[in-house]
Amino acid sequence: MTSSSSTSGSGSMSSQSVPSSMDSGATLPTQDVVDGYFSEPEETAEPGWGKLIPVGRGFELIDLTKDCYIFGRDDKADVCFVEATFRKNPFFLRLSKKHFELIKETSANGEHIVYVKDWSSNGTFVNGVLIGKGNKHVIENNGEIALPTSENKAYIFLDLEATNKDQETFPQEIKERFTISKFLGRGVCGEVRLAFSKGNECKKFAIKIISKNKFSSSSACVNRRGDLEEVKILKKLDHPCIVKIFDAVETQENLFIVLEFVEGGELFNRLVDVKKLEESVAKLLFYQMLVAVKYLHDKGFTHRDLKPENVLLSSSNDATLIKITDFGLSKFVGEQSLMQTLCGTPSYLAPEVLASQGLKPYKKECDCWSLGVILYVCLAGYPPFASRANRSLNQQVMAGSYSFPDQFWRDVSDKAKDLIKKLLTVDPNQRLTVAEALEHPWIKDEKMIEKAKKLMEPDDKQTSMAPPTKTATKRKNSSDSDTSTATKRHKSTDEDTTN
């Protein structure tokens, strides 16, 4: 599922509930208190008009209730950036004492416009565009604020009026647990949206939305309680190179699949940006793909739709962890429906899949063919099969007709080309398996494998935590008169810096 790298009925999720917002500053009730918790009181604070969802290190959730907020390192700012909170953010010293201002202006007819005004010489960006000191820029729902560089994302702005309208199509089970944010991508099986768990932690998730109208057999594919064996198995899959599935929720029209969010986007987009990968980089990423697909095959899953759009990257670095997504779609929408849909986009499909048109059984060897196509694209920057005047794409795939033109392949090793040849073998019985590919001389690179294993050792369990199952109750805290993240922080002595 595109994260890209980039998921109705209720699916139960075994997790601790994430606290609901604790920053309203409302007076605590004196009744219904049990062990420091109390039931949800009536809101006495002024309802907010928006939120700033933190997406960068050190930034915190801001509930917007006033028409103007000043952000900076000055302790007089409405939102003060404190050094202790930004210990892991290398850009802290480039945040100005008065960095930017968020302004809401309301017109005579009641409509409002939100601006970001830049007060810093170091840089404030909206959706990647530099505002410039003294200038202001309109920010709309799901707009991104970055500072002091375009890469250092700080917040996603949510206009609650627009967000609430946008979320009307989502089932209650999703809306209770998540705030739905921006569009991340779209594929043949649906679209993907960014979502944040409700509460102060604001963990990021991806939610894939699949229209059941596209799949004739999908109306009964997911039980409303999420207790079909297929869904249980998918939720139990656990591998560092596999996107985690947390839940599946079904409505009359759609399936909503709750997924781990992967920061670095799709391998497809990386290839668009860089054209092709250095052989050492391709080898590192491809080794992880082989390991991930072997894990799926060992668990009895055939992916069926391996392509660069379904390989997500954890970061923008060359040496990055990859994660395979969209591996369980046949369990949700039906194998025959899925394959008949995918046969309309045959670039990465194996010859036996195209020959069957999704009507005959086929085996996991089809994934090995797709991996061969992916490796070819990574190393050459273009696909091995493409429509030509004298021969259709399907005809080329069925015949295994491709080549290695010297102008594109002169710098690629013979071992890499040999692995591609053995994966792009038309007869599936003669094609290299994933296990055999892992033993190929090009892959048996000890330094590369050591680097890959370090990437695959999880050092941050945050993304493996299941999202909240319900709206949590508030915790009583008599020592805090106001826990809002938009209140002033303790004094910072750092001066405004420019670069």
Alpha helices in 381-413 (DSSP H): 393-399, 406-409
Cα(18)–Cα(181) distance, rounded to whole angstroms?
18
Cα(311)–Cα(324) distance, rounded to whole angstroms?
5
DSSP per position, 413-425: -HHHHHHHHHHS-
DSSP per position, 133-149: TT-EEE--TT-EEE-SS
Among all chains, which residue has been given the structure tokens 């025959």? 336
Cβ contact 273:218 at 8 Å: no
Residue 17 vs residues 7, 36, 234, 468: alpha-carbon distances, Å: 20, 16, 22, 5
Residue 313 vs residues 3, 94, 269, 292: alpha-carbon distances, Å: 9, 28, 10, 13
Cα(26)–Cα(60) distance, rounded to whole angstroms?
20
Chain center to CA of 495? 36
DSSP per position, 63-129: EE-SSEEEEESSTTSSEE--GGGGTT-TTGGGS-TT-EEEEEEE-TTS-EEEEEEE--SS--EETTE
Which pair of structure tokens corresponds to residue 347? 């670039």
Of the candidates 261, 262, 51, 55, the one whose C-alpha atom is nearest the C-alpha of residue 153 is 55
Q: CB atoms < 10 A from the CB of 149, how many? A: 14
Cα(251)–Cα(8) distance, rounded to whole angstroms?
4
Q: Annotated catalytic sites, by residue?
A: 305
Q: Which amino acid is at 298?
A: D
Among all chains, which residue has been given the structure tokens 């805290």? 477
Give exposure, 326-352, as e/b (b: 16+ Cβ within 10 Å): bbbbbbbbbbbbbbbbbbeebebbbbb
Chain center to CA of 212? 22
Which pair of structure tokens corresponds to residue 408? 């594109």
